[in-house]
Amino acid sequence: MLSNEIGRLRFIGIFEGLSFLLLIGIAVPLKHIWDMPIAVRIVGPVHGFFFILYCLALVQAWPVSKWPFKRVAIIFIAAFFPFGPFLIERSLRRDEKDLLNNSPSP
């Protein structure tokens, strides 16, 4: 999974998606319902870090995959929705498989 750009995007997407779900599903309710802002102060920057890594991985995967701009935009926008990175995982896995099948053998 980490051996190519699309695999790295998939890997980082899993952590980005999980951190987003932790942020909106646990940390934000802890802050607003039970007055525990520390959860957001911890999970928020972690999620921000993974979001930036996700964006960088997408920029690296774009030229290798030769995706059209519309496809890149969809992958980027998916990160803004809960479960978004998980919903595009199957198509990214297919793209990674195609990339590996079309690459020259050593």
Higher pLDDT among residues 10 and 99, named by residue:
10
Q: For 13-30, what is each residue's pLDDT tens digit?
A: 999 999 999 999 999 999
- How far apart, in whole angstroms, are the C-alpha atoms of residue 38 and residue 26? 12
Q: SS3 of 76, please?
A: helix
Name the DSSP class of 82: T
Is residue 32 in some structural domain?
yes
Structural domain contains residue 106: no
pLDDT the model gives residue 81: 95
Q: Nearest 5°: phi and psi at 82? A: -55, 135
Tally the domains of the chain. Answer: 1
Rounded CA separation 63/91 (Å): 17
Domain with 30, as residue range(s), is 5-101
Contact 26, 41 (CB under 8 A): no
pTM of the model: 0.91
